[in-house]
Amino acid sequence: MPECGDGRGRLRHGCGSGAGALELAAEAYGTDAGAQRRLEWPLAEPKRRIVHQLIDRHELPVRHETRRMGRPYTLILEKTAALFERAAAERGEWVSELDWLSRTADRLSPRR
């Protein structure tokens, strides 16, 4: 996929797909629990609409609103507690799976 960011939080021409918008948002916003919780992202209307729709369609645990001042308007994204709870639950599952794998590795490997 071509680089969509212009270094200022805006999508470059030809990067209007939903996937491109979400990838740029993830890059700008960070995806780990220690990253910033709020992003104020100046973004033109077509790109803002795509991000709003994708957040709603996939029921992502992120609050989103548009501040209608200046040009372009600013999309405000804010991580919710549910995002951090989901991430913690996923990490717990990974730890459990790694523990199981560690305990059963000897049985799964071929004997010589």
pLDDT, tens only, 47-105: 889 888 888 888 888 899 999 999 999 999 888 888 888 888 999 999 999 999 888 88
pLDDT at 28 over 70: no
pLDDT at position 35 is 59
For the stretch 2-25, pLDDT in tens is: 344 444 444 444 444 455 555 656
Q: pTM of the full predicted structure?
A: 0.55
> Under a CB-based contact definition with an 8 Å cutoff, are residues 5 and 12 in contact?
yes
Beta carbons within 8 Å of 93's beta carbon, 6+ residues apart: none
pLDDT at position 9 is 42
Q: How far is CA 111 from CA 103, 105, 107, in A?
A: 16, 12, 9
- What angle is formed at CA 22 by the lines to CA 19 and CA 24, rounded to 5 degrees? 105
pLDDT at 112 over 70: no
Top mean pLDDT of 31-35, 70-74, 105-109 is at 70-74
